[in-house]
A and B are shown apart, each in its own frame.
Chain A
């Protein structure tokens, strides 16, 4: 099944496909409900109705799934570490090239207070390097999530409420990477990066050899949208962030400042933002407004990352850290706990017997209500 099948409506009713069809519809509805809750919470943070309360820097344990068919794609430890190092600079605004932000926007540069490190404990409680190496017969993967499934030639995720899963492989179609927004299925939660866009050494190739593809995709994973909106080259799209200028489409290459679109002069597009499409050497900042969306994400669907201790094994099996008082799908935009029966095992998908709205609709006391 590829991602296209998620939206498929069977041409005619067949008894054998009915359960599958209902499950897909439920998943789709759950996703829409989850996304609405995520955005309502982000809106509450953006308007000041909710305030970030996180006191400490968050360290996210990372598992890197290296899925390779050609030996040269079986990345070196050095290449993996080079990527982690870039993330720890970019998400702390500690990158040397942050000085390239035009003076008019220097005050908007934000420290996400998020750090990343290779996981030291695997889901079973054993010591790990945080790297899974899987040889595959698949020469390349498309954007259909097959790389995230051992049964389809990839590697299964570690519990996605406790780890950031990064898959590195050869992507087809020239794609550098793709992500999944919070609120999506646990079985496919994480980011995928083509090996030539991963890290700063080894197979990393210019102009995408500074590790910014992974920074960008993790931005999506933390609920950031493209800075130019996602309406093609129109001026009406938005990233729902107040301190990023309205701009037309995404930028490519290494633009010169200012680059004016949508009457956004004199400063023009913020093409040096990580959520634009420019070359690695041209992007170097997140903004404070973007960090409000990230804080909302960490207060909502990815809140388990704040409480999970990456140095100790989970209790109750993989992914067993969810708050037992929360609904199955975690309230506002929650990702499903893979250990609960409703999700069918690690990385499982929604139980087709579960009513579509069970445990997913934000209640009146949830931020979704507070944000409107």
Chain B
């Protein structure tokens, strides 16, 4: 299985405030986000192909959907979670930020 950068192996939280018209921005959990009652959507790449997508749950914690990832062409990653499969076009990333094309 083609690999992806180890930088990606963590849980990334949506940083809406930093989004641009064509990019969705994610940050690690220790980023100083403005507090919210609703959990931020997040996604998590795990070594070996595991993938989780988290959405807001009814008791204010995130509810995970378990799936998998695989490297795709270029800087893309094909992810499966819940009932769907989609391709994330990674525009930029390092240990502190992940930017995905909208």
A interface residues (Cβ-Cβ under 8 A, vs B): 3-4, 7-8, 139-140, 142-143, 172-181, 194, 196-197, 205, 208, 213, 216-217, 220, 225-226, 230, 250, 252, 277
Contacts and interface: CB of A to CB of B under 8 A. Distances in A.
A174 B37 contact: no
Contacts of A139: 30
B48 to A, nearest CB: 10
B13 interface: yes
A277 B60 CA distance: 10
A181 B34 CA distance: 26
A140 B29 contact: yes
Given A7-B64, A179-B59, 17 more contacts: A3-B64, A4-B54, A140-B30, A143-B61, A173-B40, A174-B13, A174-B31, A174-B36, A174-B40, A176-B37, A178-B60, A181-B59, A216-B37, A220-B58, A220-B60, A225-B58, A226-B58
A34 to B, nearest CB: 14
Given A173-B40, A179-B59, A230-B58, A142 B29 contact: yes
B24 interface: no
Contacts of B36: 174-176
Contacts of B13: 172-174
13 contacts: A140-B30, A143-B62, A173-B11, A173-B40, A174-B33, A174-B34, A175-B36, A176-B36, A177-B37, A178-B39, A217-B59, A220-B58, A220-B59
Interface in B17-64: 29-40, 42, 52, 54, 56-62, 64
Interface majority SS (helix, strand, loop, mixed), chain B = loop
Given A140-B29, A142-B11, A172-B29, A277 B64 contact: no
Contact of A177 (B60, B62, B66): B60
Instruction: Indicate the size class of the contact surface on chain B.
Output: 20 to 34
Contacts of A197: 35
A139 B30 CA distance: 9
Contacts of B33: 173-174
B52 A174 contact: no
A186 B31 CA distance: 31
B12 to A, nearest CB: 10
Given A142-B11, A172-B30, A174-B40, A196 B35 contact: yes
B1 to A, nearest CB: 14
Contacts of B42: 173
